[in-house]
Amino acid sequence: MSEKKLKKAAQIIVKAGMLPFPITDTLLEIVDLLYSDDELDFIIRAFKRRSSQTMEQLKNTTGLKEEDILNYVDSLAEKGALFNQPSSSGLMVYRLLPLIFVGIFEYCFMQKIEYNEKEKELAVFFDKLFDEIRDVIQERYDTFLPVFRNIPPIDRTIPVKENLSGKEITISVNEEIEAPEERVLLTTDIEKLIDKFDDIAVGYCFCRQHQDLLGNSCQITDMRENCFTFGKSARFVSENGFGRLISKEEALKILIESENEGLVHKAYHPFGKRDRDETSVCNCCKDCCGTFNLWKKGVLPMINYTNFLSQIDQELCVGCGTCVEKCPVDAIQINESDKAERNPDWCIGCGICAHFCPESAISLIEGDRTVYVPPPKIRE
């Protein structure tokens, strides 16, 4: 496969996602490994101008017959490279998916891994790609910061509900992030969120399975099958073998088990638009979560939308450090008074600290916030 074709296709695939990624040699190796030569030709012809197309539009842009287009569509969907579900109006829309957030990376590792050579090779390639992206970001750190500030929240925290204080306040801890002009009423109860959807699918956690393939077993949990998709995303997942459809009862059982393991519920909206229904919920650990780790390693900012902020009662706190250990974003430290103290700029309001506090010294207070923490600058 020619390098020119790989680069052209890679640029189109990257543009289909929310985040800007540089075209590196490893990215080209991943594209070469995952796509056939004919599939890349189809992507270049079909999606060079728009990442979403109807069948009539695909016929016009490719010059192919419907039967031939459907062969490409089905092949790419089975790889997690193309989304083929009807819109809310019933019109079938074919949407090219990026490599990550949300695309091939997630779908490839959402199936139960077999530990074969191709899976291991792909896992190593993605790990290497993240390192290469980090190097590019760090070398041009000041250039990327304005770009990062324009990215919408990547995910939204849904807290462990029994630790809410019932107190609502107005919070503005990040002056550079503007609050939305109109408040969007969002489901902050995981049970009510599950109840919204008739179609629910569960797959394996792609982040933990990626780390498993690299030989980095999770130290937080042994749970793997707890990555949820909803609605048409659930139908896509089940139809293409990335997960299985389950009942609301089984979904809630898995979610409660995830809470008890210390995992964070993170909801995802299409393109970060909170006024649109959730497409998925991940149950994330501090060990393996891609968004947490890419931030800590200096690759991407942490951009999270939350309705809550943790509150520590200094009189009840005994400084045991449980919350420090459990916090997925390292937002809590023990201060000079041997008390837990949280950083409001970093807190994503997940409630894990409150859930595990043996003294019941932590609760959550309500207030819409966008948490924005730039990646650490690890190179001068």
pLDDT tens, position by position, 30-70: 999 999 999 999 999 999 999 999 999 999 999 999 999 99
DSSP 8-class letter at 161 = G
Which of 273, 351, 277, 282 is closest to 311 using CA atoms? Answer: 351
SS3 label, residue 371: strand
pLDDT one-digit tens code per residue, 287-337: 999 999 999 999 999 999 999 999 999 999 999 999 999 999 999 999 999
Tell me how far apart the alpha carbons of residues 365 and 188 are, in angstroms, rounded to a whole number: 13
Cα(300)–Cα(19) distance, integer angstroms: 9
CA distance readout (Å), 128 to 124, 131, 332, 333: 6, 5, 31, 32
| Global confidence as pTM | 0.90
- The rounded Cα 148 to chain-centroid distance in angstroms is 16
115 has a pLDDT exceeding 50: yes
The CATH number of the structural domain formed by 3-142 is 1.10.10.10
101 band by pLDDT with thresholds 50, 70 and 90: confident
Parse the chain into domains and list their residue ranges: 3-142, 143-373
Is residue 29 a contact partner of residue 125, using CB atoms and an 8 Å limit? Answer: yes
Query: What mean pLDDT, rounded, does the chain reach?
Result: 90
Quote the distance between the C-alpha of residue 323 and its chain's center.
24
Name the CA radius of gyration of the chain, rounded.
Answer: 21
- Report whether pLDDT(173) > 90: no
- The pLDDT tens digits for 347-375 are 999 999 999 999 999 999 998 999 999 99
For 183-214, the pLDDT digits (tens) are: 444 677 888 999 999 999 999 999 999 999 99
- Which tokens belong to 350? 């997940």
